[in-house]
Amino acid sequence: MARIGFIGLGNMGSGMAANMVKAGHEVFAFDLNSDAVKALEAKGAKAAQSLADAVRGAEAIVTMLPAGQHVRSVYEGDDGILQLAEHDAILMDCSTIDVESARAVAGEADKKQMAFVDAPVSGGVAAAEGGTLTFMVGGSQASFDKAKPFLDTMGKAVIRAGDAGAGQAAKICNNMLLAITMIGTCEAMNLAQKLGLDPQNFFNIASQASGQSWSLTSYCPVPGPVPAAPSNRDYKPGFAAPMMLKDLRLAMQAAERVDASTPLGQRAENLYSVFNESGGNQLDFSGIIKMLQGEIGQ
Ligand code: NAD
């Protein structure tokens, strides 16, 4: 059993922190939102009154925050984690943020000879609650080895992607691919229906043919073929469309910086931007099929 500081108890962090409690750790939970802290306290965590309260004395620290600026503000500065944490603590940022911010925090940690990894996750709220996330980890092998036992309590797979920032790089590349395959799956399903094919029948064919992908077989954007998919509950998230847009923007920023050609990624960003502005921001990212079907955004 270890003492853990957990910062950021939102949709994802609350389930992840609860799994650390279940694993027998003493979790000091902190969020700017005191209701989120109370909810975690009810699940057996200790309510930290401040960042310092959560971090001091902890062997391991997990952050699960919205974006790069939140992560930098929590780690850096005189009252940040790098100043407050025990020198031998393992620091794990599981937020999805830009590669530069992840590398900047890792660089500051390195100067202080503290162990830090970027460890963003794949899998949504259900995987966070069920402890079945996939972690993509950036950092030295030694930091990865120190982080892995803690990440194992929250996930089904913990994979080292490379050095600092590599976890974030893997995450945005994965999600750019996911956005592209989802839009492609929606287009194919929509065209199939307009050509008179039954969606279940087309699903049976494409899922056993070369059009097969995770977007089709695990997350089918038309109701019916995959009962657990958000398409069966009016596209209630799931993985919300604004989150996908955030990840695509991070991918496009990174692509521009390294001069990588990503024409489909750019188009996907554009389509998700229009989808979000047309009311899709309340829906799962697979709900973009409603835009292709002309139900929203026309
Ligand atoms: P969220 O907005 O629900 O939660 C973020 C929490 O951080 C909030 O409770 C907020 O009060 C807290 N917070 C912000 N600044 C803080 C600070 N300075 N100190 C303490 N607490 C602070 O977000 P989420 O859905 O839990 O996502 C968290 C991260 O995980 C994001 O980077 C997101 O991109 C990524 N992610 C989300 C999903 C998903 O399906 N929701 C899936 C994979 C990855």
Rounded Cα distance, 45 and 189, in Å = 45
Q: Would you tell me how many other CB atoms lie within 10 Å of the CB of residue 196?
A: 6
Structure tokens at 1: 């059993």
* Cα–Cα distance, 243 to 276 (Å, whole number): 10
Sorted by where each starts, the structural domains of the chain and their CATH numbers stand as 3-163 (3.40.50.720), 169-292 (1.10.1040.10)
Chain centroid to Cα 4, Å, comes to: 21
**Pair type for strands 121-122 and 133-138:** antiparallel
Q: Is the CB of 36 under 6 A from ligand 1?
A: yes
DSSP codes joined into one string, 2-65: -EEEEE--STTHHHHHHHHHHTT-EEEEE-SSHHHHHHHHTTT-EE-SSHHHHHTT-SEEEE--
ipTM attached to this prediction: 0.99
Both tokens of 189, joined, read 């399903």
> 126: Cβ below 6 Å to ligand 1?
no
Q: Is the CB of 39 under 6 A from ligand 1?
A: no
Using the 8-state DSSP alphabet, how is residue 89 labeled?
A: -
Whole-number CA gyration radius for the chain: 20
SS3 114: coil
CA 71/CA 95 separation, integer angstroms: 8
Catalytic residues: 171
Tens of pLDDT, residue by residue, the chain (298 residues): 899 999 999 989 999 999 999 999 999 999 999 999 999 999 999 999 999 999 999 999 999 999 999 999 999 999 999 999 999 999 999 999 999 999 999 999 999 999 999 999 998 888 999 999 999 999 999 999 999 999 999 999 999 999 999 999 999 999 999 999 999 999 999 999 999 999 999 999 999 999 999 999 999 999 999 999 999 999 998 889 999 999 999 999 999 999 999 999 999 999 999 999 999 999 999 999 999 999 988 6
The reply to whether ligand 1 has any atom less than 6 angstroms from the CB of 54 is no
Q: What is the pTM of this model?
A: 0.94
Tell how far the Cα of 11 is from the centroid of ligand 1, in angstroms: 7
CA–centroid distance, 65 to ligand 1, in Å, is 4
Structure tokens at 200: 């279940």
Which atom of ligand 1 is nearest to 125's Cα? 40
